[in-house]
C-alpha cells in the first residue's frame, strides 16, 4: 500500500537532547497528523496540522506543515525517558476519500 | 469519556480459520476505520465505515471484510487466515468528515 517516507527510521538520543523527524510525500496533503505509539498500545494523536506553513506546539512538541504541502516536521525539545516510542506521521490527501496514509514510523529511544 | 475500545486484546488462530475482531467507537463518532500493523511496519489502511456503509477500502483481498452496526460499533472479519495475517489490528473512530482519528489499543492476531 501507499506510504509516506518518514525519517529517520530510528534514533538513539541522550536525555535532554532535542529530536527532529520528518515526513515527505510525492503528493499534496490537506492535513498532517502526528501520532505516538507506545509498545502494545494504539497510536495517540499528538498534533494536527490543517494549513500549509502552520506551526503548532503541544508542550515540548512542535510540528510544522510544510509550505509545499508535501512534507511535515516534528520536533521534540529536551527529551525525557517517557518520550520513548514510535512516532508516526499521517497525511490526508485531496481526493476527498478521508483516507489517511501513514508513515513507516520513527523509533525513538532515550538514554537516561 | 471512554475512548475507542477493541476486543479481544489477543487472538490466536490457525491457518484457514476465521477471525472476528470488534471495535466500539467513541460516543458520537459515526466513522470507524480499520488498519493493519504488521511487525516493524507502518499502518496499512483496511476499511472505512460510516453510517453503516463501507465508504472506502484499502488494497487487501476480499477475505478481509467487515460491517458496522446501527450503534456504530464495527466488526472486522478475516477469512481463510494466512500466516502473514499475523499483525496488530487497530481500529480508529472519528466524527464524519473529521480529520482527527482516535485509535483503540488494538487486537493482536497471531496465526499459527
Q: Is the pLDDT of residue B44 over 70?
A: yes
Is A50 in Cβ contact with B43 (below 8 Å)? no
A76 is written with which cell numbers?
A: 521534540
Q: Return all residues near B13 (Cβ < 8 A) that are at least 6 apart.
A: B19, B81, B109, B110, B111, B112
The set of cell numbers assigned to A3 is 506510504
Could you tell me which residues come within 8 angstroms of residue A22 by beta carbon, excluding any fewer than 6 positions away? A6, A7, A71, A72, A73, A74, A89
What grid cell was written down for B3?
Answer: 475512548
**What does the pLDDT average to over A61-72?**
95
Yes or no: say if A20 and A60 are a contact pair by the CB < 8 Å rule. no
Question: Which residue in B4, B35, B100 is closest to A48 by CB distance?
Answer: B100
Interface of A with B (CB under 8 A): 1, 3, 6, 30-31, 33, 35, 40-45, 48, 50, 88, 90, 92, 97-105
* Residues in chain A closer than 8 A to B43 (CB atoms): 43, 88, 90, 102
Percent of all residues in chain B with a pLDDT value above 70, rounded to a whole number:
94
| Residue among A44, A50, A102 whose CB faces B42 most closely | A102
pLDDT recorded at residue A95? 62
Torsion sign, CA atoms A26, A31, A34, A35: negative
Centre a 10 Å sphere on the Cβ of residue A94 and count the other Cβ atoms it contains: 11
pLDDT surpassing 90 at residue A67: yes
From residue A39, alpha-carbon distances to A52, A83, A99, B94 in Å are 32, 12, 25, 23
Cβ–Cβ gap B56/A41 under 8 Å: no
Q: Which residue of A has its CA nearest to B59?
A: A1
B47 has pLDDT over 60: yes
Amino acid at each position: 500500500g501507499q506510504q509516506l517516507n518518514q525519517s529517520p527510521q530510528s534514533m538513539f538520543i541522550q536525555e535532554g537532547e532535542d529530536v527532529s523527524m520528518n515526513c515527505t510525500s510525492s503528493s499534496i496533503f490537506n492535513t498532517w497528523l502526528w501520532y505516538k505509539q507506545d509498545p502494545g498500545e494504539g497510536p495517540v494523536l499528538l498534533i494536527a496540522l490543517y494549513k500549509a506553513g502552520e506551526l503548532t506546539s503541544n508542550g515540548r512538541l512542535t510540528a510544522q506543515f510544510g509550505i509545499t504541502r508535501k512534507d511535515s516536521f516534528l520536533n521534540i525539545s529536551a527529551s525525557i525517558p517517557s518520550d520513548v516510542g514510535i512516532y508516526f506521521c499521517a497525511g490526508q490527501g485531496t481526493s476527498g476519500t478521508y483516507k489517511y496514509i501513514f508513515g513507516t514510523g520513527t523509533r525513538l529511544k532515550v538514554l537516561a | 469519556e471512554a475512548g475507542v475500545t477493541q476486543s479481544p486484546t489477543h487472538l490466536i488462530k490457525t491457518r484457514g480459520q476465521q477471525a472476528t475482531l470488534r471495535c466500539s467507537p467513541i460516543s458520537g463518532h459515526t466513522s470507524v476505520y480499520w488498519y493493519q500493523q504488521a511487525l516493524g511496519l507502518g499502518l496499512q489502511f483496511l476499511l472505512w465505515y460510516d453510517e453503516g456503509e463501507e465508504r472506502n477500502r484499502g488494497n487487501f483481498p476480499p477475505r478481509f471484510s467487515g460491517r458496522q452496526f446501527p450503534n456504530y460499533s464495527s466488526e472486522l472479519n478475516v477469512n481463510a487466515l494466512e500466516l502473514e495475517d499475523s499483525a496488530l489490528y487497530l481500529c480508529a473512530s472519528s466524527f464524519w468528515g473529521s480529520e482527527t482519528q482516535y485509535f483503540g489499543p488494538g487486537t493482536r492476531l497471531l496465526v499459527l
